[in-house]
Amino acid sequence: MMRLTRVELRRLFSRRLTTVALLGALILTGLMLFDSFQRAKPLSGAELASQQAQFDQAHKEWEANGAQMVQDCLTAQAEQQKTDPKAVFPCDQMEPNPATWGKPQAKFAEMMPSTLLAGSALLIFVGFLVGTSFVAAEFSSGSMANWLTFEPRRMRVYASKLAAAGLGLIPATVALLGLLTAGVWLIVHHFNPTSVTTTKVWGDLGEMGARTVALALAATLAGAAIGVLVRRTVAVLGIAVGYLVLVEGVFGQALQGARPWLLQLNVTAWLQHGATYYVDSCATDAQGHYTCQGVEKVLSFGHSSAYLGLLVVLALGLAALVFRRRDVS
């Protein structure tokens, strides 16, 4: 079993798709860092000057017409309140304020979570792709039959493939997450040396990183299991895209009650330790108007852990059953 896993690991990293996928992930990580760099970068002298000019312009406008602008705003608000009594327009915040005008200074605690979420999505996809193709290629090339004439104990073969895919991707996932985090931290501190990151923020980020690694591992294993079931990488990807578009997109929009069972929402809830989503709540009010309102709902971390865990266990178990009995030719 150890030996088989070692061989499978060697095969995993001899595959071009593995190299290409990891390189691609590295490049995308670089792009994310570049994006962070752009967002963190303070304005240049020329930009500052043009910003100041814009502010002066806005301020002059305010001096001249401010009273009228507030008046118009209040009128519009009153108009709106006839149909929607709760409507509030920001009429008291219309004066240009030099403190909020222009680009705020970069803060690690503000930039990192969203960057990490994007990075996680990437790593989960890479894990799934590498896992699925690692197994499916063996079926579609026919070399699985040959392999089984060297090691006929199917459960060992199955377990060694899963183990290799998982073990191979964990270090890569950790390394890329580390790179992303270190990169953003360095960028922020380069432009804003006074930015402080509390231990609480670091703790949260650490937990989110750990959850990303766990989910990327689960995606790799599930990908490998689906590879066993479907046996063709292209078919798996087709099914995955079709599922995301049709079920998660179209069906998920139409059938709001199904949202807690959508993969994307559960993945977000798992990564962010809970997620919110909106469903329309429609009713006829006292005046006989039929109105709909977005109601915020929470998908709990516990729900997503149980649901995603169940899905992965189901995929692994089903693939094991099928692989154990299937005719391989």
Rounded Cα distance between 73 and 80, Å, is: 11
Using the minimum distance from each CB to other proteins, give the nearer residue, 144 or 275. Answer: 144
Which member of 4, 25, 111, 229 binds other proteins (CB under 8 A)? 4
Which member of 7, 70, 121, 320 binds other proteins (CB under 8 A)? 7
Rounded Cα distance between 322 and 318, Å, is: 6
CB of residue 162 to other proteins, shortest distance in Å: 16
Beta strands in 48-131 (DSSP E): none
DSSP 246: I
Count how many residues are written for the chain: 329
Rounded Cα distance between 299 and 281, Å, is: 17
The answer to whether 211 contacts other proteins (rule: CB under 8 A) is no
String of contacts with other proteins for each residue 287-326, x by CB under 8 A:
--------------------------------------x-
Using the minimum distance from each CB to other proteins, give the nearer residue, 13 or 243. Answer: 13
Which helix H or strand E contains 279, and what residues bound it? strand 275-284
CB of residue 329 to other proteins, shortest distance in Å: 6
Using the minimum distance from each CB to other proteins, give the nearer residue, 1 or 298. Answer: 1
String of contacts with other proteins for each residue 134-173, x by CB under 8 A:
---xx--xxx-xxxxxxxxx--------------------
Token pair recorded at residue 259: 């949202």
Query: Pairing relation of β-strands 290-299 and 275-284?
Result: antiparallel
Judged by DSSP in three states, 304 sits in helix
Among the listed ranges 48-56, 133-141, 230-238, 283-291, the one in contact with other proteins (CB under 8 A) is: 133-141
Using the minimum distance from each CB to other proteins, give the nearer residue, 45 or 152. Answer: 152
The answer to whether 328 contacts other proteins (rule: CB under 8 A) is yes
291 forms beta bridges with: 283
Using the minimum distance from each CB to other proteins, give the nearer residue, 289 or 325. Answer: 325
The answer to whether 121 contacts other proteins (rule: CB under 8 A) is no
CB of residue 147 to other proteins, shortest distance in Å: 8
Rounded Cα distance between 300 and 81, Å, is: 35
Q: How many residues bind other proteins (CB under 8 A)?
A: 27
CB of residue 10 to other proteins, shortest distance in Å: 7
Q: Alpha helices of 84-198 — where are they, by DSSP H?
A: 108-140, 143-148, 154-191
CB of residue 19 to other proteins, shortest distance in Å: 11
Packing angle, helices 233-242 and 108-140, rounded to 10 = 130
The answer to whether 257 contacts other proteins (rule: CB under 8 A) is no
Q: By the 8 A CB rule, do 151 and 157 touch?
A: yes
Q: If we measure between CA atoms, which residue out of 155, 158, 156, 153 comes closest to residue 138?
A: 158
Residues at the contact surface with other proteins, assessed by CB under 8 A: 3-4, 6-7, 10-11, 14-16, 137-138, 141-143, 145-153, 325, 327-329
